Amino acid sequence: MDVTITPSSLRGSARAPPSKSYTHRAILAAGYADGALVREPLDSADPHATARAVEAFGGDVSESDDGLAVEGFAGRPDVPDDVIDCANSGTTMRLVTGTAALADGLTVLTGDDSLRSRPQGPLLDAIGGLGGRAESTRHNGQAPLVIGGPIPGGEVSIPGDVSSQYITALLMAGAVAEEGIEIELETELKSAPYVDITLELLAEFGVEAEPVGADGGEVRSAGASGFRVPGNQSYEPEGGEYRVPGDFSSISYLLAAGVLAAEEGLTVRGAKPSAQGDTAIVEIVERMGGDVEWDREEGTIEASKSDLSGVEVDVGDTPDLLPTIATLGAVANGETRITDCEHVRYKETDRVSAMADELGKMGASVTEHEDELVIHGDESELSGATVEGHDDHRIIMALSLAGLVAEGETTVRGAEHVDVSFPDFFDVLYDLGAAIEEQ
């Protein structure tokens, strides 16, 4: 599906979808438990992949009026009857690689072309170091993967600057392993707030886990030298249920839409505070001069069209915000410098290059470095163009925002991939007043 957007004036209110990060973890945590009700989950392609994996390990996931009713495998996953296809979901593959290492036999994990190009080597090495079998069938550290267990747990070292999801996989599996797992980080931890999400959710499921040597600041995992999770624990959420919070990665697009195109103001609902690092988007937009007011207690954000100025933003902990920030930078006065972003190249696509290339087609002046993206707002004047979505939901949504303010028509190709995290994104924009045509 292609989508064409023309300049529009937005108004009204919209609710953010539930968090994809929390939904993945909640479904898998319910699988590790005897079972649980996951309330208000994100209903999209990626969490569906995690639900299928839970079923492959012996659980059951069914829709109910209240959410997803999960019957778990109580910390003892079966060996799957068939290959687990994680589709395009890197989170699914990494998290359930840890689950597979607990099964008494071999599990094969694969995915689509994009997922089979993403790095899994450090997690495979870690599982091997814990006594499991962990192989890439092509010996390149990429899927398809063959995982064998059961691992007893123990001590392991792993780099912290490739993917925080490796840490999450080990913590979630280590809680039910016989010996637990102690993780030593070989390098500085990137995306620390995502590990905080894991720690927060584990606590909600009654599981003890903690960072070692952390800074003690607002981000609990920041500066950690490692993590520790005792073994033989049980996943038992209070009342047998867990409610998924709103997704600040998705909120970033609605907030940006407000400061770009909502002269009469736009209200974003479902914005309750949580451990998500992407809550930083509120402060980033404020620094750029955006007219934003966040009522944390009510969980609402008011945003109005604003004159923006370029800023410098380190996305070491918030990689998913890069596409949104890049689009804002293309319409801001002055220079927007996005730093510490090399790890953003290893997402569904190389998001650094993708945003540089596609915004360039629309008239933005962009300079790309290995670990930095610089958008020269004063030298940019956005005009409509046909741009590629790169089969990446975040690239598609960010470029669609640019289309709201670019002169003429902007066509985003492959727009159906928003179903990964924000399935009704274009319906929401249309209801807010955006001129959108699907083809």
The tens-digit pLDDT sequence of the chain (439 residues) is: 999 999 999 999 999 899 999 999 999 999 999 999 999 999 989 999 999 999 999 999 999 888 999 999 999 999 999 999 999 999 999 999 999 999 999 999 999 999 999 999 999 999 999 999 999 999 999 999 999 999 999 999 999 999 999 999 999 999 999 999 999 999 999 889 999 999 999 999 999 999 999 998 889 999 999 999 999 999 999 999 999 999 999 999 999 999 999 999 999 999 988 889 899 999 999 999 999 999 999 999 999 999 999 999 999 989 999 999 999 999 999 999 999 999 999 888 999 999 999 999 999 999 999 999 999 999 999 999 999 999 999 999 999 999 999 999 999 999 999 988 899 999 999 999 999 999 8
Q: What residues contact residue 177 under an 8 Å CB cut-off, 6+ apart?
A: 102, 150, 151, 152, 153, 231, 232
CATH number of 3-17+246-438: 3.65.10.10
Is position 304 annotated in a ligand binding site?
Answer: no
Residue entry with tokens 């995992």: 221
Is 391 considered catalytic here? no
What tokens were used for 145?
A: 């993967």
Distance CA 294, CA 317 (A): 21
Strand partners, 63: 68
Q: Pick the catalytic residue: 196, 317, 320, 392?
A: 320
- Cis ω for the linkage preceding 119 (within 30 of 0): no
Angle at 219 between CA 203 and CA 326, to 5 degrees: 120
Closest CA to 347 of 47, 50, 118, 22: 118
Distance CA 302, CA 27 (A): 31
What is the pLDDT at residue 439? 86
What tokens were used for 416?
A: 């159906």
Q: Side chain identity at 275, as an amino acid letter?
A: A
Cβ atoms of 179 and 257 within 8 Å: the answer is: no
Closest CA to 110 of 129, 124, 90, 125: 90
What tokens were used for 302?
A: 């008011």
Is position 221 annotated in a ligand binding site?
Answer: no
CATH-assigned architecture of domain 20-243:
Alpha-beta prism (3.65)
What is the pLDDT at residue 361? 98
Distance CA 198, CA 204 (A): 10
CATH 3.65.10.10 residue spans of the chain: 3-17+246-438, 20-243
Q: Side chain identity at 120, as an amino acid letter?
A: Q
What is the pLDDT at residue 274? 87
Is position 274 annotated in a ligand binding site?
Answer: no
Asked whether the CA dihedral 319, 320, 325, 327 is positive or negative, the reply is positive
Is position 351 annotated in a ligand binding site?
Answer: yes
**Alpha helix segments (H runs only) across 143-215:** 164-174, 192-204
Asked whether the CA dihedral 243, 249, 252, 254 is positive or negative, the reply is negative
What is the pLDDT at residue 176? 98
Write the DSSP symbol of residue 368: E
Distance CA 105, CA 78 (A): 8
Is position 320 annotated in a ligand binding site?
Answer: yes
What is the pLDDT at residue 358? 98
